[in-house]
Amino acid sequence: MRIAFDASPLARPHPFGIVRAVRGALDALERSGELEVVRLVPHDGEELRAWRHGELARRAEARGCVGLHSFVSALPLAARIPRVQTVHELPWRHGETENADLGHRAWVQLGGLVARAVVTATETVARDLAAELVLGAQRVHVVPWGVGSPFTPEHESDVEDELARRLVLAGRPFVLAPGATRPKKRLDATLRALAELGASRATPRVAVVVTGARSETFVRDAELARELGVDVVLAGNVDDRELAALYRLAACTAVLSRSEGFGFPVLEALACGSPVVVAAGGAAAELAGACGIACAADDGAATAQAFASVFANASASTTAEARAARVARAAEFGWERCAASLARLWRGLA
């Protein structure tokens, strides 16, 4: 079965999580051989929006494809072959403004009208879609993304010591905040919670390591950190080997977003055996399951208590048994499982 996939997130700038999802899913589908994958990307000089809505379906049909799969909510409105839409999250339902404009909201509704199936990665977002869609809620399918190399134990790297020296960590405990230069990652909630812990003198002085490009949000949060007396280190954009090393070095990873479509850092941290503190009730908590430390992230005292539990039980959280449980939880979300689910979806549509 020949299926066209909009692979433009691998060729044009898109959010990090979407790029990771597209690359992981397509690579796994091609390895499995269950579908004949046709990757379509705009040519140099083609404007992405015009290509997606004017050329994508035509080129898929010209290649003899019997279906067209979009990894984003925007998809061709006119096509003679079945289309599948992907909705990653509905941030406006959780008070977030990033990707919550009228355009994103409109595409969710349009997909419910024209797509043969709507894919999302968690039950949390599926519930949001069921409440949001005017039409098409019965066509929502949950297909979790995956986690793999270099975040699995067999791919442990040798860059930890060099990375710790470069970031001047010198053996100090730190909380990792992946991608927290973006507003939705709520670095301020982590900073306030750690400041409260420091004031209680119940834990050693803890730093926060942030990945991602310097942004206005990070500059503002760094000033807040200075006011609160919390040390913040910006690691910048790191590659996957360095990110895996940071997960393994960290006392824990913080994922306190109100809205997450999937939350790759949750699974990546667990796959590295690292504790993870997550916002209760969202996609991050769904992924972490019993292996996560869930807290009411809007409640500063509750968040501080979640971090306190990590440091108070540091010896217990680093036992072989605890690490094995986290690794096992992450292993439930392999890319092979994702590919099999996507292939099964398309066979059902055919």
Give which of 54, 39, 93, 148 is closest to 261, Cα–Cα: 93
For the chain, the distance separating the N- and C-terminal CA atoms, rounded to the nearest angstrom, is 9
Write down the pLDDT at residue 167.
83
Give which of 57, 73, 94, 66 is closest to 9, Cα–Cα: 73
Mean pLDDT, range 127-149, rounded to an integer: 94
pLDDT at 190 over 90: yes
Write down the pLDDT at residue 350.
79
Comparison of pLDDT for 84 and 16, the residue scoring more: 84
* pLDDT band of 345, cuts 50, 70, 90: very high
* pLDDT band of 199, cuts 50, 70, 90: low
Give which of 243, 248, 303, 294 is closest to 270, Cα–Cα: 248
Q: What are the C-alpha distances in Å from 121 to residues 2, 289, 339?
A: 23, 15, 12
E strands, 264-347, are 276-279, 293-295
Q: Is 45 left (phi over 0), alpha (psi -120 to 50) or beta?
A: left
Structurally, what CATH architecture does the domain formed by 2-146+334-349 represent? 3-Layer(aba) Sandwich (3.40)
Write down the pLDDT at residue 318.
66
- Decide if domain 153-331 falls under CATH 3.40.50.10490: no
The identity of residue 193, as a single letter, is: A
Decide: 88 and 52 in contact? Cβ < 8 Å.
no
pLDDT at 202 over 60: no
Give the global pTM.
0.92
In the chain, where the domains are located? 2-146+334-349, 153-331
Q: What is the chain's length? A: 350
2-146+334-349 and 153-331 agree in CATH topology: yes
Write down the pLDDT at residue 152.
81
Write down the pLDDT at residue 203.
61
**CB-based burial, 303-313: b 16+ in 10 Å, e otherwise:** bbbbbbbbbee
The DSSP code for 98 is: T
* pLDDT band of 314, cuts 50, 70, 90: low
Mean pLDDT, range 25-50, rounded to an integer: 96
Write down the pLDDT at residue 32.
96
* Mean pLDDT computed over every residue of the chain: 92
The DSSP H or E segment spanning 232 is strand 232-236
Secondary structure (3-state) at 199:
helix
The DSSP code for 42 is: P
